[in-house]
Structure 1
């Protein structure tokens, strides 16, 4: 894994070949142009991994990538194939010290949710080293995330075009609000304003937050004296970028991609779904033991349960999920990520003993793509995170949706509209749900006639989500735009 470290107050000495210079005398033939693209994702693995997947697809076409993050995060990313390691340079920017952050905390996965604002404050202090890096390397484009809303101003000063690369669907981004002066401004002020579709959506839609979701996100919508809000970060990012790139495709959400162009008055390009497939050579003892258990189950009978790298069920939620799995009568494989120490959630007394052999509770990382690819999996109980949904539909797995935070509620509404997944019933005011609702939802989607629509839709979308030829075409179109609109750099 090739990398170099940039220290906040140091000048950067970069090998001449680390940046791509386009000379005026070079032929203007897009086919022969090789770009240098810098990427700067937010410090969450749910963001860094999609950025890295796109980086690998771009590098696979001969273009150079500078992937920028903090040292510990880069060291935790999956290794690259040797062919790609020559084209992807990992740039390590040490995270500025913050007295409110525990030692070694460089990603959201390292922190409880209430400490993530401190990580954003530390991340904002990377503005100077990012500016130094861009000035030294002069990339053709900078792809950046929602959090560094200050990036466009820096890049514009240096003459570097920028693209906001959204790892969430266009539907969720559109809900945030318009920046085009031709569209009436967002006047939402109260929590109740967010539980209905926005006024700038001109077609019938159910995409909105539920009341308990608004309350959970409200501080991130409004901000406070210690930090700007996530909504502000998103809107300044959308306002300042030259291009909006979205992890999506026109076949899945055409009307929302079109609306995103309208409300921001700038180009919007889907880059494809960035589907993942299991690697045949990626075998280890952990997977072999999981596969052995899955092999013993009947086809389409296993309930797979996972809530991503960061979403954690509360004690009450974990209890109802556990009892619901037990009541469903189906075999289950549950990847249970919980807090450590005294706050760690506990399963109901005797649960694991009663379900020994029928169910597995895995408290460590598990190879999700390999599990979803296994024929025994019949339904996926998920938090509605886009990456997890993409992985599920790549293998035609129907979904029961239990959104927990961030964009997940908006995703769940849209997936429900599309019959991609069934959203588990819960109380609108506090988000609570019962074990009976868990069991009934799982049985309905996996076994009953009324759930056939979800099973059929998952199978219908499988060819789209697993279409690598189509994915390749999306990346080609994206790169063609970047080549045509790159800044002219001279020595």
Structure 2
């Protein structure tokens, strides 16, 4: 094939309607657009309106197409992303998403992009795009270890020969296809929680089947990762998938210069505290702690006596049950703690010198943001994929995890307080503070990101016809 490295691509992108997916897709879109390629970004009106603004120099290269979701009986009106819904209603968003098949194909017919980059939910897209001569890439916002743990496309779609299932405790044992030493695994309680919405029913296709079919139907798999972070797992994916697997880089966050009106007030509060003394707590836009988890966490923060800034999601959509802080908690911690129930400028807050530790759920975007800014991590994973990421970070001694009962997930306020104190100030926790500074060289290195992006674009270009 001739050298196509100067070919300007047109790439369509269709992420899952969750902001933990929409934002990494948008970050990748901006990076690709910065190299002069054209992006068509497809989502719903409400989701697109809530995305961060595109930098002015990139606006000529990124076009947004808004698709309206069909009305479904069990899908609340105006629910267009997972943050609009309690977890038991998310399957109806997936069913509505599947109804977009025809309008998506119409868009592809009209635009004829070189590639479409899609998400795990769009398991039906690969064969349809191929029929129209459009190359396909599955982009995983999950790192390679989370993908490698659950196996090949065939295993995801049909089970392995041992017929393990999510409700089988053998699922927490190292899979037979992982030939190297690894401590990556979910906890039993995370496995139990996963069965609540990941298994198929009469209405909906399972998440595992969607993922397997999305991988199987793609020409290439793109992963939010890099070889400096998880080389063994990336190499394993190539063996499992029998197709190209290309890391897109870690997609480090970029500060939004516009900020928001509340930032000056937040900064004033942060400025009052000593360097490295504040705990920042956030669990992403998709993850809401249960009432039990919220109570234990709040009491742990109170016990720790540390200053904290907590971005709290206590309800997902109007139909969701509100979780409540312990009675009197905000009054007792007033002055040394802030509870923010709205949007917060996370990058600006975490960048501040007074923030010494992040207490997070192990979502990949939060992990990347913490490490690119050199902040040590205390992990409280709540869901299946978060448990896999957390176990890898603990195995590599990159982060510390709050101790929980493996079966029922119970934990004490003291375990929260002790974990924060250890990582923030103790001699025993110095290794995590040092490791976070070391990780800045990988997670925040724009040269590493640029190298991954250039290799990805080279592959996409060289795969196009002359």
TM-score range, shorter chain: over 0.9
In the alignment, the residues of structure 2 paired with residue 31 and residue 431 of structure 1 have an alpha-carbon distance, to the nearest angstrom, of 51
Q: 1:188 to 1:342 in 2, by over 3 A?
A: closer
Write out per-residue CA displacement over residues 258-306 of structure 1, whole angstroms, 9 at most, x where no aligned residue: 0010011111100111101324x32433111111111110011101111
Equivalent positions of 1:39-438 (< 5 A) are 39-179=13-153, 187-189=163-165, 190-279=167-256, 281-339=257-315, 343-438=321-416
Write out per-residue CA displacement over residues 178-205 of structure 1, whole angstroms, 9 at most, x where no aligned residue: 1379x97563134212111111000111
In the alignment, the residues of structure 2 paired with residue 424 and residue 411 of structure 1 have an alpha-carbon distance, to the nearest angstrom, of 14
Q: CA deviation at 1:221?
A: 4.0
In the alignment, the residues of structure 2 paired with residue 186 and residue 141 of structure 1 have an alpha-carbon distance, to the nearest angstrom, of 37
In the alignment, the residues of structure 2 paired with residue 32 and residue 202 of structure 1 have an alpha-carbon distance, to the nearest angstrom, of 40
| 8 Å contact kept, 2:400–2:419 | yes
SS at match of 1:366: coil
Write out per-residue CA displacement over residues 343-397 of structure 1, whole angstroms, 9 at most, x where no aligned residue: 3222222222221111111111111111111111111000000000000001111
| 8 Å contact kept, 2:85–2:319 | no
| 8 Å contact kept, 1:191–1:211 | no
| 8 Å contact kept, 2:91–2:197 | no
In the alignment, the residues of structure 2 paired with residue 93 and residue 484 of structure 1 have an alpha-carbon distance, to the nearest angstrom, of 31
Write out per-residue CA displacement over residues 414-448 of structure 1, whole angstroms, 9 at most, x where no aligned residue: 01111121111111121121101100110111111
Name the structure 2 match of 1:449.
Answer: 427
Structure 1 length as normaliser, TM-score? 0.91
Q: 1:372 to 1:440 in 2, by over 3 A?
A: same
In the alignment, the residues of structure 1 paired with residue 461 and residue 170 of structure 2 have an alpha-carbon distance, to the nearest angstrom, of 41
| Greater C-alpha Rg | 1
| 8 Å contact kept, 2:86–2:319 | no
SS at match of 2:117: strand
In the alignment, the residues of structure 1 paired with residue 114 and residue 319 of structure 2 have an alpha-carbon distance, to the nearest angstrom, of 47
Structure 2 length as normaliser, TM-score? 0.95
Q: 1:216 to 1:477 in 2, by over 3 A?
A: same
Q: CA deviation at 1:478?
A: 0.4
In the alignment, the residues of structure 2 paired with residue 73 and residue 431 of structure 1 have an alpha-carbon distance, to the nearest angstrom, of 33
SS at match of 1:255: helix
SS at match of 2:422: helix
In the alignment, the residues of structure 2 paired with residue 380 and residue 219 of structure 1 have an alpha-carbon distance, to the nearest angstrom, of 29
Q: CA deviation at 1:232?
A: 0.5
In the alignment, structure 2 segments of 5+ residues that lack a partner are none
| 8 Å contact kept, 1:57–1:475 | yes
Write out per-residue CA displacement over residues 230-279 of structure 1, whole angstroms, 9 at most, x where no aligned residue: 00000111111110100111000000000010011111100111101324
In the alignment, the residues of structure 1 paired with residue 321 and residue 213 of structure 2 have an alpha-carbon distance, to the nearest angstrom, of 36
| 8 Å contact kept, 2:361–2:380 | yes
Name the structure 2 match of 1:478.
Answer: 456
Q: 1:245 to 1:341 in 2, by over 3 A?
A: closer
SS at match of 1:384: coil
SS at match of 1:225: coil
**More RCO (CA 8 Å, sep 6+):** 2
Bigger mean CA deviation after superposition, 345-354 or 231-240: 345-354
| 8 Å contact kept, 2:314–2:324 | no
In the alignment, structure 1 segments of 5+ residues that lack a partner are 1-26
Q: 1:115 to 1:283 in 2, by over 3 A?
A: closer
| 8 Å contact kept, 2:115–2:135 | yes
In the alignment, the residues of structure 2 paired with residue 342 and residue 57 of structure 1 have an alpha-carbon distance, to the nearest angstrom, of 36
In the alignment, the residues of structure 2 paired with residue 48 and residue 342 of structure 1 have an alpha-carbon distance, to the nearest angstrom, of 22
Write out per-residue CA displacement over residues 453-474 of structure 1, whole angstroms, 9 at most, x where no aligned residue: 2111111111111111221111
| 8 Å contact kept, 2:301–2:416 | yes
Write out per-residue CA displacement over residues 289-344 of structure 1, whole angstroms, 9 at most, x where no aligned residue: 11111111001110111100021112221111111111112111111110268932
